[in-house]
């Protein structure tokens, strides 16, 4: 009985907090400088170019941990041991002279 009551209270608290956090999901993450309690400071981040293609990194044992489509292509986060790499894959463009997919990658650490 006590365990059931604790579970119900936990679920009720989640049902209150989760919708409150999700209300602004369309504008997530908050714009830099926006005055909101969920905004983090903009901190400079070093991105060091990697002289290898996405294919080469995958062949070396890197694994894709996240992916997301954006206007100019697909963005991937890769991980291998302690290395984290960010890659952008751009498809060949019909309106450009680019006729093969290309990738650009940067180390995050």
When pLDDT is cut at 50, 70 and 90, the band that residue 18 belongs to is very low
Q: What is the mean pLDDT of residues 5-20?
A: 47
Q: What is the mean pLDDT of residues 100-107?
A: 94
When pLDDT is cut at 50, 70 and 90, the band that residue 42 belongs to is confident
3-state class of 68 per DSSP? strand
Q: Residue 8 burial by CB count (10 A; 0-12/13-18/19+): exposed, middle or buried?
A: exposed
Helices (H), 1-109: 2-22, 54-59
Ranges of beta strands (E only) in 1-109 are 48-50, 63-70, 73-80, 83-90, 102-107
Angle, alpha carbons 4-6-12 (nearest 5°): 105
Instruction: Spell out a b/e string for 18-30, using b for 16 or more CB atoms within 10 Å of the CB, else e.
Output: eeeeeeeeeeeee
pLDDT value of position 28:
66
**59-101 confidence digits (pLDDT tens):** 999 999 999 998 888 999 999 999 999 999 998 877 777 788 9
């Amino acid at each position: 009985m006590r365990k059931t009551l604790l579970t119900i209270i936990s679920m009720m608290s989640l049902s209150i907090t989760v919708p409150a956090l999700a209300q602004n999901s369309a504008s997530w993450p908050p714009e830099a400088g926006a005055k909101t309690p969920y905004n983090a400071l903009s901190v400079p981040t070093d991105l060091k170019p990697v002289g290898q293609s996405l294919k080469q990194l995958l062949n070396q044992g890197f694994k894709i941990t996240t992916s997301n489509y954006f206007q100019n292509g697909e963005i991937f986060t890769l991980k291998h041991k302690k290395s984290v790499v960010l890659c952008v894959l751009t498809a060949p463009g019909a309106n450009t002279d680019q006729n093969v997919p290309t990738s650009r990658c940067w180390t995050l650490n």
